[in-house]
Amino acid sequence: MTQFQIPVQIAPVIYTEEQMKLIEPQLDELISQCNELIERASKTVEAASDCCLQAAGAEKLLTQPLKLQNRVHEASFAVKQLKRKAGLLPPHPQFKFKSGHCTILGKRPTNEDAHVMENFEHEGRNYTLTAVFDGHAGDAAAKYCAQHFKKQLISQDSFNAQPIKAMKQAFVEMDADFCAISQMSGCTATAMLFEHGAENTLLTANAGDARIIFRANDQLQAATIDHKPSSPGEKARVEAAGSFVTTIFGVARVAGQLLVAVSRAIGDYDYKQFGVTAEPETYSYTDLDDLKYVVCACDGLYDVLSNEEIDYAVMSALNAAGAPNGRQQIIGDAMKLYINGKTREGDELLMKNANSCFVNFMACVEPKMEFSFEQRIATALTRIAYLLGSMDNITAIVLVASE
């Protein structure tokens, strides 16, 4: 391999012979380390190239497609790490999450929501996992998913190389497992997996109308798409399955079933024949350099608050909100009151502008000052949604990112 030659003249400084003798050992060591790093990078690139050629024909090699995918992923990951160490790629910030969550009964007789919020390590890599499961016809499906989702996810053979594929398969297998033991309940499901490391990858999977949003690179991002029977794509999919969508009491439903107001869900065994599916839509977001927060919540929050209003509320709590539009000012002001312990003032502000004719403060949670900052934000979001007229259970998970 060609060795680097260090010129005698560097920048405007001319080194004397005596000075060169003093720094030569350190320079030789630095050159040796650089050459070793470049040699390792070269070998990894060659290996990655070979793996890519093999992966191109993976469909024909049905006996070992996953092994090839794993090798390509690992080689690509190693190349990026080496490039960052060598200064050929700028480093990404290493994010840490502080989290808070809140779930409330709201105006329902029982709370059928369940959720997951966990940081974990798996085979040398660190992950943050959040998920919200919004149950219907009981809480059995939601509780089952919250109990089994992480185990189902990391048990997938594709988890290391293709975690987004593993998320999709985990939804499908969890649905099959639950339907094998119960046919009386269902739940929507939305999940976020953040892989900490060189690339800061945020993955989402969604089946139903729970939703995930985040702010990064100075942009609000809807990270999932709702699955309503009324949406053109879902309506076409249901009809292609031999079923139909009809509107009852102003709500689009699958095959006229009163309990089915979503077109994708885990469980709901009896409605699978009508086109309801547990297969999620998945999305991947990479190169996140300025991640501010992630919100994962059920439709009880989004039914009365838009993505932009939730974003304004969270950014108000972070003292980073821009100019308000519409009722964003009221929502942002209420958030600031709540997180600073002024619950009564926040309630009064919202109730002046609310459409709700009945309020039971026993059905929601007060954002107390002994809560963590992130917990107060999540609690305030559920309280704001409740006072603005949400008729459902309300569950919200808030992750605030820091470097």
Cβ neighbour number for residue 344 with a 10 Å cutoff? 10
Co-location of 100 and 74 in the same domain: no
Rounded to whole angstroms, the Cα distance separating 49 from 26 reads: 34
| Token duo for residue 130 | 């959040």
Which residues fall within 8 angstroms of residue 234, CB to CB, at 6 or more apart? 227, 228, 263, 264
- Please identify, among 60, 85, 110, the residue that sits at the C-terminal boundary of a domain: 85
Name the residue with higher pLDDT: 217 or 260.
217
| Structure confidence at residue 39 (pLDDT) | 79
Rounded to the nearest integer, the mean pLDDT of the chain is 86
> Which of the listed residues 19, 51, 85 is the one where a domain comes to its end?
85
Residue 272 phi/psi, 5° resolution? -60, -35
Classify 250 in phi/psi space as left (phi over 0), alpha (psi -120 to 50) or beta. Answer: left
Same domain for 37 and 183, yes or no, is no
One domain for residues 61 and 205: no
Q: List the one residue out of 318, 298, 302 whose CA is nearest residue 310.
A: 302
Amino acid at 162: Q
Q: Give 298 or 26, the one with higher predicted confidence.
A: 298
Residue 13 forms part of a structural domain: yes
Asked if 74 and 111 sit in the same domain, the reply is no
Q: Is residue 2 part of a domain?
A: no
Pair 78, 148 in one domain? no
Give yes or no: residues 76 and 54 share one domain. Answer: yes
Question: 220 CB contacts (<8 Å, ≥6 apart)?
Answer: 213, 214, 307, 308, 311
Q: Evaluate whether residue 173 is within a structural domain.
A: yes
Judged against a pLDDT cut of 90, whether residue 288 lies above it is answered with: no
Do both 58 and 113 map to the same domain?
no
Do residues 374 and 399 touch, judged by C-beta distance below 8 A?
A: yes
| Amino acid sitting at position 339 | I
Structural domain ending residue among the three candidates 40, 64, 85: 85
Q: Are residues 148 and 281 in the same domain?
A: yes
> Considering only CA atoms, which of 186, 140, 193 is closest in space to residue 170?
193
| 30 domain residue, yes or no | yes
pLDDT (0 to 100) of residue 90: 66
* Mean pLDDT in residue range 297-312: 97
Whether residue 279 has pLDDT greater than 50: yes
Q: What pLDDT sits at residue 145?
A: 98
**154 and 52 within one domain:** no
The residue among 100, 105, 99, 98 whose CA lies nearest residue 385 is 105
The mean pLDDT of 66-75, rounded to a whole number, is 54
CA 181 to chain centre: 29
Does any domain span residue 21? yes
In a domain, 234, yes or no: no
| Same-domain status, 58 and 114 | no
Is the Cβ–Cβ distance between 391 and 378 less than 8 Å?
Answer: no
Give the mean pLDDT of 348-365: 85
Report the C-alpha gap between 6 and 177 in whole angstroms. Answer: 64
pLDDT (0 to 100) of residue 54:
56
Q: Tell me, what's the pLDDT at 59?
A: 38
In a domain, 356, yes or no: yes
If you ran DSSP here, which 8-state letter would residue 7 be given? -
pTM of the model: 0.78
- Domain range spanning residue 206? 96-227+262-402
Q: How many domains does the chain have?
A: 2
Q: Are residues 46 and 101 in the same domain?
A: no
User: CATH number of the domain that 392 lies in?
Assistant: 3.60.40.10
- Check whether residue 299 and residue 398 sit in a common domain: yes
**235, part of any domain:** no
Q: Is the pLDDT of residue 57 over 60?
A: no
